A and B are shown apart, each in its own frame.
Chain A
């Protein structure tokens, strides 16, 4: 339960107005720090929910498929440039961000990740490699300003951030498949 407490503390920290404003004032921090940290806070809190509402998870997310689809959908939503803008100008969308990312993504991701088939895990990884690569391309190469709230230079920096993540994921996959995995759950 201590892990869940860390999750709550992280979540509380992230919703503090000065922290929130500071993070949202820089595009790359908004997209690649705040949003992932919200997911991490949910991941840390997931242990509590898995115990408290175990039957719910078993009934609705028995093999992890429903949960992982939800995770993919919500993360795709938060990668669209327009949603960043809307989160800054609309209270409802901002509220949705602070609820959907920890509780519908982080919590659900942890519950689903241990349940889904290893092939689907690999597929999800490759899906994100493609998506992050695409976003890197879009944000670096876009001929127009894609967010009202951020400058073109901000979106270029974000694009390079996505590229770094893409390369990181590729290196992770490479070390995973080219190092000895005998006896692992592959």
Chain B
């Protein structure tokens, strides 16, 4: 429904669908496109909600409560660190809490937009709508990295043959991120001068406090688990390890932009795409691609080759180039979301375009590897591990 709404009915409010934009399109799109998109997003949310509720139910069943899933009984000293939940359970609990909250807020604002699209005379407070939209959107986007990091915790343990030990600092960091992720969406509203000042100050202060604890314990943990472990590097482990770098450097422009005085001049420039391309492509996507390579290695006899190594190096260079071009454009005050550029803005944009082509090539190599894995896996007998020719 989202795809049909966007491509067939030319709905183009972007993911933010900020009220009253779905209805107020200046004839760029009509009711059908807006309704297809909004209801499609709603159904998507229902699917995710069912998934998170099931995962939450499993954690409560096994650990007693979501608090225990976050290791609060270990933090309070009722249980020893040796009996703490695994890092995967802790990260999953955090994501369940924040995303269920996000989806509930998102459903409310989506339906309100639907009502406004059907009956434009029915208007509501746009500032409350914006708050709810970002309470949904920021949390949901932010949680991607927290879901991806589960792959880092699990896969680096496999590669290094060392356990990723959970301690109290790790647990406190994840609990802090659980609370702060829910509260920091206001850093998207720093330019809304009508917002209460305390909410904006909270957005700045907690943005600093949110990103760093989990990032530091995870990046430091990754360095420690790898250090002198005799790890055998391949594309999967390299992507997973490099994702830590992407996360660390990608979060820096975000924290800079979450500073009110900086945000006033940088937020509507390409600085922000610079942040999220680095954070998502070099952080979250590298985790996902690393997981794909790990899965292929574990579940088949597929071998990586020169193309994959080229893909890895090309991907890293391309994303650094692409994100760097956005950040440079931002530093030059190039506005974002503009269809056309004046000549003075074109230098970094062209550089970014070339980097984007390299990123496309590298990603295609990753995808081809994964398709090859699926084809080989489908031909392999599950019981014997032999392919159909060998069985014959």
Q: In the docked arrangement, what's the CA distance between A144 and B123, Å?
A: 9
Taking the complex as formed, is A141 at the interface, i.e. its CB lies under 8 A from any CB of chain B?
yes
A138: chain B residues within 8 A (beta carbon): 112, 115, 124
Residue contacts A-B, CB under 8 angstroms, 22 given:
A119-B53, A119-B57, A122-B53, A126-B53, A126-B104, A130-B111, A133-B104, A134-B111, A134-B112, A137-B112, A137-B128, A141-B124, A142-B124, A143-B122, A143-B123, A143-B124, A144-B121, A177-B65, A177-B66, A179-B65, A186-B60, A186-B61
Of residues 37 through 73 on chain B, the ones whose CB sits less than 8 Å from some CB of chain A are: 46, 49-50, 53-54, 56-57, 60-61, 64-68
A133: chain B residues within 8 A (beta carbon): 104, 108
B50: chain A residues within 8 A (beta carbon): 119, 123
Q: Is the interface of A mostly helix, strand, loop or mixed?
A: helix
A134: chain B residues within 8 A (beta carbon): 107-108, 111-112
Which of B57, B64, B125 touches A141 (beta carbons < 8 Å)? B125
Q: In the docked arrangement, what's the CA distance between A186 and B64, Å?
A: 9
Taking Cβ atoms with an 8 Å cutoff, the residues of B that contact A are 46, 49-50, 53-54, 56-57, 60-61, 64-68, 100, 103-104, 107-108, 111-112, 115, 121-125, 128
Pairwise interchain contact A137-B53, C-beta atoms closer than 8 A: no
- Between A and B, how many residue pairs show CB distances below 8 Å? 65
Q: Is the interface of B mostly helix, strand, loop or mixed?
A: helix
B57: chain A residues within 8 A (beta carbon): 118-119, 122, 186
Pairs of residues from A and B, 6 with the lowest C-beta to C-beta distance, nearest first = A130-B107, A182-B64, A122-B53, A180-B64, A177-B66, A141-B124
A126-B104, A137-B124 given; name 17 further pairs at CB < 8 Å.
Answer: A119-B54, A119-B57, A122-B53, A122-B57, A123-B50, A126-B53, A133-B104, A134-B108, A134-B112, A138-B115, A141-B125, A143-B122, A144-B121, A179-B65, A181-B61, A181-B65, A182-B64
